[in-house]
Structure 1
Amino acid sequence: MVNDSDVRLAHRLADLADALALEFFGRRPVARRKEDGSPVSEADLAVEKAMLAVLAEERPDDAVLSEESGTLGTGSRRRWILDPIDGTIPFLAGRRDWGTHVALEVEGELRVAVLSRPTEGVRWWAEQGRGAFASARGGPLSASRPLRVPETTGPLSAARVGGFLMPGSPVEPVRDRMRWIDSSVCLVADLLEGRAEGLVDEGGHVWDRAPAALLVAEAGGCVDDLCGGGRLDGRWLVYAAPGVADELTGLVRDAAGPGGTA
Structure 2
Amino acid sequence: MTDQPQPQALRAELLAVALEAAQRAGTFLRDGRPEDLGVAATKSSAVDVVTEMDIASEKLITDFLADRRPGDGVLGEEGASTEGTTGVQWVIDPIDGTVNYLYGRPDWSVSIAARKDGETVVGVVGAPMRGETYRAVLGEGAYVNDRPARTRTAPPFEQALVGTGFGYIAARRAHQAEIARQLIPRVRDIRRGGSAAIDLCDVAVGRLDAYYERGLNPWDFAAGELIAREAGALTGGRPGQAPSGELTIAAPPGLFEQLQGFLDEQGAWHD
**TM-score, normalising length: structure 2:** 0.86
Indicate if the aligned counterparts of 2:11 and 2:137 stay in contact, CA closer than 8 A.
no
Instruction: Look up the match of 1:133.
Output: 143
Maintained 8 Å contact 1:160/1:198 = yes
Q: Distance in 2 between matches of 1:55 and 1:195?
A: 32
Aligned to 2:170: none
* 8 Å contact kept, 1:26–1:94: no
Give 1:118's aligned residue. Answer: 128
Q: 1:74, CA displacement in angstroms?
A: 4.7
Q: What is the alpha-carbon distance in structure 2 between the residues aligned to residue 230 and residue 261 of structure 1?
A: 16
Is the contact between residue 87 and residue 99 of structure 1 (CA under 8 Å) also seen in structure 2? Answer: yes
Give the aligned partner of residue 62 of structure 1: 72
> Gaps spanning 5+ residues in structure 2: where?
1-6, 168-172
Task: Give the aligned partner of residue 172 of structure 1.
Answer: 180
Deviates more, 1:80-89 or 1:65-74: 65-74
Q: Write the distance in 1 (CA, Å) between the matches of 2:213 and 2:68.
A: 33
Of all paired residues, the percent bearing the same amino acid is: 28
Partner SS, residue 153 of structure 2:
coil
Report deviation, 1:261. 5.7
Where does structure 1 differ by over 6 angstroms across 4 or more consecutive aligned residues? none
**For the residues of structure 2 that align with 1:17 and 1:200, how far apart are their CA atoms?**
27
Counterpart of 1:22 (choices 25, 30, 34) is 30
Instruction: State the match for 2:103 in structure 1.
Output: 93
Which residue of the partner structure matches residue 265 of structure 2? 254
Instruction: Give 1:115's aligned amino acid.
Output: V
The alignment status of 1:214 with 2:226, answered yes or no, reads yes
Which amino acid is 2:159 matched to? A
More helix by share: 2
Instruction: Measure the CA separation in 2 of the matches of 1:70 and 1:231.
Output: 22
CA contact (8 A) 1:226 1:261 kept: no
Decide whether the 8 Å contact of 2:239 with 2:260 is kept in 1. no
How far residue 124 of structure 1 moved from its aligned partner, in angstroms, is 0.7
Unaligned runs of 5+ in 1: 136-143
TM-align CA RMSD: 1.9
Q: Does the CA-based 8 Å contact 1:227-1:261 persist in structure 2?
A: no
2:88 alignment partner, one of 64, 78, 85: 78
